[in-house]
Chains A and B, each alone.
Chain A
């Protein structure tokens, strides 16, 4: 059909494998609609970080992994005998929302996501996850830096493989207090036109008041005259009765800024140099 754009979807996949046990200690595949600017990695690439190997590829079909999970082994490079042990007997599905109450790992910060997690319990055999993470800290710091997967911060992700299906909505929000409007303005932008027909529900609260509003998802900026600038805001988007987006956050009405002035001096004492650092802290509100 003329003018119709077919969106190409891939599964951006990252695997972290313990070189000693050849077991996958973490993995994810992110369902990703490619924009014109997005690149795609068609062959498995590997990267070694000492005791760990990292593998990544953009899969056309995630069943390449999920089928292997049922077999317990993933044969990445058959000619090189590179077999990865997959032992994920359990699986669950859940929705990850953007929440100030609970920090959840979502590989693309700021997006809500459906998640299907495959996991084992215990995560690392008889080794306590904390001891394992401390023992591999050096390699895991590199994983965090290069791939933004922080297993030290989210230790429960050890021994998991998760398929994320992020909701590609972008929210902008701003409190307003002027002669015409006391409330806020909000927009939810569906760049890829994936959620036509969705409905946006808004709930605003301050210490004593509550205000609700609804509009059809339309990419436009909406000014909501709630009568107060909210302290707490919840934005929910429903499509065909299913929640596809939920963000909850508090609005910052005052920012405290701390400044540090650092001074250093060196004192010679009995054949050694003693370095001293002074840090003067000042704070003010804006």
Chain B
């Protein structure tokens, strides 16, 4: 695990530290800045959620035991807002069941207080990788949505039928149109999606959340 992340992908991303303990917040900010990681401290989950709409994607370092709103509630709130930034939770020593519960809620990792710099940076290394992947997936999804939005009704129907594994002939039959017309819609659909192969078009369809067509009756 690289102890120095200077040249890694981390530099461009922020860490949001959420802990009600001022000393812990200050010390984390200091340690992360010494490791050249940008961090933004928040004294409570509410403060963080309030600022969330204006924040760039980043990793979240979250204390579980906090007054008013604890770490679990913060994770629930993030899920509600469909924010999938990687969350690393901080637990007390020996709180394995608590950590397990957090992992089930989607935390990517946990550290036990007090933790070593190496352990924390190791977690971040993984989390930032994940963040990058999730961001890329997000971008792809947005793109797929944008392209899928360009499809006409017929083109989308053809795509859904293809997703259901139907051949051009079957599609023509179930839609009640000629084979030639199906082929035309299919070509236009491929163009609009900027797909060079059927596999690519189907992947895009899935990323855009397009459902397969129902199998024709009989």
Answer whether A and B are interacting partners: no
Residues of B within 8 A of A (CB): none
